[in-house]
Amino acid sequence: MQRIEVATPVLKKNDELALENRALFAARGVVAVNLMSAPGAGKTTLLEKTLPTLQLRFRCGVIEGDLRTDLDAERVRKTGAVAHQINTNTCHLDARMVREAYDAAFAQAPELLFIENIGNLVCPAAYDLGEQWRVTLFSVAEGADKPRKYPKMFHNSHAVVLNKIDLLPYTDVRLEELIESVGAVSPEAAVFPVSCRTGDGLGAWIEWLERQIARSRQTRADAAVEGH
Amino acid sequence: MHETGIAWSILETATAEAARAGGPLATVGVRLGEMSGVVADALSFAFDALKVEAGVPDAALIVESVPVEALCPQCGSTTRPEGELILWCPECGSPMRIVSGEQMEIAWIEVHDSADQGAPADEPSQRA
């Protein structure tokens, strides 16, 4: 019997494609955001409510992922953003699907690209899509134990949007508890309590996105100067 | 997690490595972090269900579980969170980072070499 060390990630192919996506986005000035949540937390609504403002300043694109229908792509298209719908039987998007969708949808590179993942708090956490920012959304109605039950998803997120704060008076959970439970598993994530329904808190979320885009542009400009 | 797809990826990589080594696949060693999202039992079940189709009906899967380890970049303390994950450093209160326990890795394979399989039929037997 001969033993051979392999030491290879199971998802090596996806990781390689994700690296290619990341390089492509960097080269084209695309800031890609992987938006994840359980089904029904409000990912598409967040996009519907914030794209009109974002589009005043940036060319925006959306890649939508669902098992069936193009309902979500239709909804975001109404904001004027270019949107492409992926329909898949898998429980998560992967780097190959994102690249195929990007190549099919965007003749002109979007400056801000949202990738709305399949509604699922488990599997998307394992699949690098080549994004620059990972954002997890969860809602007041889901309760304060969500982050602690799905630590991988929340720990690996750069930002957490806590939606439906307008429902707080109708639940037994306090805002502090919700924010604290995010902090326990993801101390460094930026947390944005919002209500897509009332508009509360969306300004801070938009500002965070604008800051990330400004930082990316600065990095690209610095790299371009160094290259000469 | 969709262990069937993961098991198939493992079989693909392991059989390719075995082919490169020039022998049939005997065993695959996989390192699974406790926070990888993959359930070891479900993975074993899926592996056994798929290995015939993958052409390695006698291959075995060995799963090595890797615990979650967190590091405080501020003071250098490490912890092994058991049960609930709380990532504030117990020593200095700073935010901690997970440094191990999320991996999903094909660590090693074992292949049968020709001595295991006996001499080919057209060569004189080495045994008396």
| Residue A228: pLDDT band with limits 50, 70, 90 | low
Has this prediction a pTM greater than 0.95? no
For residue A219, the model assigns a pLDDT of 87
Residue A179 has a CB neighbour count (10 Å cut-off) of: 15
**Cα atoms in the Cβ-side hemisphere of radius 13 Å centred on A202:** 20
- Among B86, B100, B114, most A C-beta atoms within 10 A, so best to mutate, is B86
Name which of A9, A11, A7 is nearest A124 in CA terms: A11
For residue B116, the model assigns a pLDDT of 56
Q: pLDDT by residue (tens digit) across A134-165?
A: 999 999 999 999 999 999 999 999 999 999 99
> What is the C-alpha separation between A47 and A44, in angstroms, rounded?
5
Q: How far is CA B65 from the centre of its chain?
A: 9
Report the chain B residue with the minimal C-alpha distance to residue A189: B95
Q: Of A212 and B128, which is predicted with more confidence?
A: A212
Subunit contact A4:B109, Cβ cutoff 8 A: yes
Helix (H) or strand (E) holding B49: helix B40-50
Share of chain A above pLDDT 90, in %: 87
Return mean pLDDT, chain A: 94
- Among B20, B25, B106, most A C-beta atoms within 10 A, so best to mutate, is B106
DSSP codes joined into one string, A141-158: GG-TTHHHHSHHHHHT-S
Report the chain B residue with the minimal C-alpha distance to residue A180: B86
Strand ranges, E, within chain A: 2-9, 31-37, 60-66, 82-87, 112-116, 133-139, 159-163, 190-193
For residue A96, the model assigns a pLDDT of 96
DSSP state of B80: -
- What's the first-to-final CA gap in chain A, in angstroms? 56
| Residue B122: pLDDT band with limits 50, 70, 90 | very low
Q: pLDDT by residue (tens digit) across B72-110?
A: 999 999 999 887 788 899 999 999 999 999 999 999 999
The residue-averaged pLDDT of A164-168 equals 98
Residue B118, SS3 per DSSP: coil
> What is the C-alpha separation between A151 and A135, in angstroms, rounded?
14
A21, A92, A95, B52 from A36: Cα distances, Å: 18, 10, 15, 36
| Residue B119: pLDDT band with limits 50, 70, 90 | very low
| Residue B117: pLDDT band with limits 50, 70, 90 | low
The residue-averaged pLDDT of A164-187 equals 95
Q: pLDDT by residue (tens digit) across A51-110?
A: 999 999 999 999 998 888 888 999 999 999 999 999 888 899 999 999 999 999 999 999
For residue B81, the model assigns a pLDDT of 87
Q: pLDDT by residue (tens digit) across B36-81?
A: 989 999 999 999 999 999 999 999 999 999 999 999 999 999 999 8
Q: What are phi and psi of B34, to 5 degrees?
A: -65, -20
Name which of A104, A68, A64, A101 is nearest A85 in CA terms: A64
- Closest CB to A8 among B5, B84, B106: B106
> What is the C-alpha separation between B76 and B92, in angstroms, rounded?
10
- Closest CB to A6 among B9, B17, B98: B17
Q: pLDDT by residue (tens digit) across A179-196?
A: 999 999 999 999 999 999
The residue-averaged pLDDT of A39-56 equals 96
Token code pair at residue A25? 């986005």
B84/chain A closest Cα distance in angstroms:
7
Residue A11 near residue B10, CB atoms below 8 Å: no
| Residue B125: pLDDT band with limits 50, 70, 90 | very low
Query: What is the sign of the dihedral through the CA atoms of A138, A143, A146 and A148?
Result: positive
Token code pair at residue A178? 């919700």
Subunit contact A185:B35, Cβ cutoff 8 A: no
> What is the C-alpha separation between A21 and A131, in angstroms, rounded?
8
Residue A216 has a CB neighbour count (10 Å cut-off) of: 19
For residue B115, the model assigns a pLDDT of 55
